[in-house]
């Protein structure tokens, strides 16, 4: 799964730079990848 991550990490449209926002955006991206796998 890590090889499929996109940089910048996270889903598009999330502009927050706070650690919690980045973590949630990254988790959302992982969930999207899991659903399409």
pLDDT value, residue 1? 67
Q: The pTM is what?
A: 0.72
pLDDT value, residue 23? 94
pLDDT value, residue 25? 93
pLDDT tens digits for the chain (37 residues)? 677 667 788 888 999 999 999 999 999 988 998 988 7
Domain count across the chain = 1
State whether the Cα torsion 18-26-9-13 is positive or negative. Answer: negative
Domain assignment of residue 25, given as a range = 2-36
Query: From the DSSP assignment, how many helices (H) and strands (E) are in the chain?
Result: 1, 0
pLDDT value, residue 9? 83
């Amino acid at each position: 799964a890590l090889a499929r991550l996109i940089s910048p990490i996270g889903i598009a449209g999330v502009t927050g730079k706070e650690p919690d926002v980045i973590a949630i955006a990254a988790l959302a991206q992982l969930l999207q990848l899991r659903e399409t796998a």
